[in-house]
A and B are shown apart, each in its own frame.
Chain A
């Protein structure tokens, strides 16, 4: 049987749905980002732990489709070891590419991952009473 999924997912997407990495709420995180809109079916929460501006750990909780789970799982893998400012550079396209691509109709799910990450970093800055670097303002996610 081919586990291609309802929307023809890549094997790597399927792998992340099957074994999502870094799931769960983080105890006393340094930054939290929550995005999504229950009306379109997806809510994503991303947690980061930061030491000396470097993201040492990340985890997530997601209510959503296979692509939403896979992109949140993948983005938590991608940010580890990056500085907070480097993390802001991670685009939804990069997340989708790292997963071996997403069906066109599911590209917006990767936007959710990018936005959750940006919000988590913003939240990190906020908690420190600092201003996040220019251009990180997050637009709300709509289908």
Chain B
């Protein structure tokens, strides 16, 4: 059975060119970049090149890029590092109710340590109103953190506007760009971002790689204590093969993004319009227009998300109920609830995330299988009115 992989928002396959770039650093070039001998220095050079590539992807400078173990660490660092460094200035942090768990849980942790957190609401499309951000700022506000695009429903937030507000009010601004970097143009300057999180495995790089952009002059504490790697801000021997792969992935994304996005828009729109057409009582989640080029999130009334995912899997189709990180939790998606969905609707949602290896035939497979599956599950759902189950 051919695998139809439509869960690229959870993770992407590694681009073969990325793998090729990494291999020498798993084999011959194994030196520690902190070593002064030539084996170490050859490797140091590769790490610095990757830093330049990641910087170029987001419009920052190489010396403003700090490699991390991934998006979660970058988000945690931005929030906790800023909170600890600025606790003398204030204790108020503004974020939104639809952030990734890495941000929400970091805030939860900080709230137990004396910080005040404002979770801004969103409209029914999952969008934050910059006005609300502006109103929430107080003299004690030290940080505003808003994601660029939502990982579950794909809605793109007005981050540039929010960044402007943050700048005017003298508050630091962090952007979680894990879902957008490499997929949409991201520029730390036009967004007025002081910090920005990126992840390698969401853009065809290896897992366990990521970076936090920190604008020069931004005060931030380290999460880890140890050596002087990453200019003393993030100790720990560098994940050299991972970083090299991440850099290569960033280069590829930068040069191929424009064409790839155009291609994805067509596939995405065909998938969502066909599913909404063919399956009664289905509803697109997230913003109808201002959304990621690769995200389709639909609620199907009377059926539950996990059983949809399992039944699709029986036919070789990989999708997700929302964010992959929460698929073992029983709670309905906090994002859909924030958009005003009731629990039942939130439970019946399915996310397809397309990628650069997605072809027309993959979309065909879903369009063929899903109406059948929904019908089968509705036939055994006690919530479905009899007509819908037929």
Contacts and interface: CB of A to CB of B under 8 A. Distances in A.
Interface residues of B, number: 28
A110 interface: no
A44 B330 CA distance: 16
Contact of B304 (A3, A41, A45): A41
A7 B310 CA distance: 10
Contacts of A17: 307, 310-311
A3 B313 contact: yes
A24 interface: yes
Interface string B162-206: 000000000000000000000000000000000000000000000
Contacts of B3: 1
Contacts of B330: 40-41, 105, 143
A41 B3 CA distance: 29
B344 A66 contact: no
Contact of A62 (B313, B321, B381): B381
Contacts of A62: 380-382
Contact of B1 (A1, A24, A38): A1
Most buried by A among B302, B328, B332, B380: B380
B307 A6 contact: no
Size category, A interface: 20 to 34
Nearest to B324: A6
Contacts of A65: 304, 306-307
B261 to A, nearest CB: 29
A39 B380 contact: no
A23 B330 CA distance: 24
A41 B332 contact: yes
Nearest to A39: B343
Given A43-B383, A62-B381, A63-B382, A38 B314 contact: no
B171 to A, nearest CB: 37
Most buried by A among B304, B379, B383, B384: B304
A112 interface: no
A111 B316 CA distance: 31
A43 B328 contact: no
Contacts of B307: 17, 64-66, 69
Nearest to B321: A6
Given A41-B304, A69-B307, 6 more contacts: A6-B309, A6-B327, A6-B328, A18-B311, A41-B330, A44-B382
Closest 7 CB pairs of A and B: A41-B347, A65-B306, A61-B382, A6-B327, A45-B382, A23-B380, A63-B381
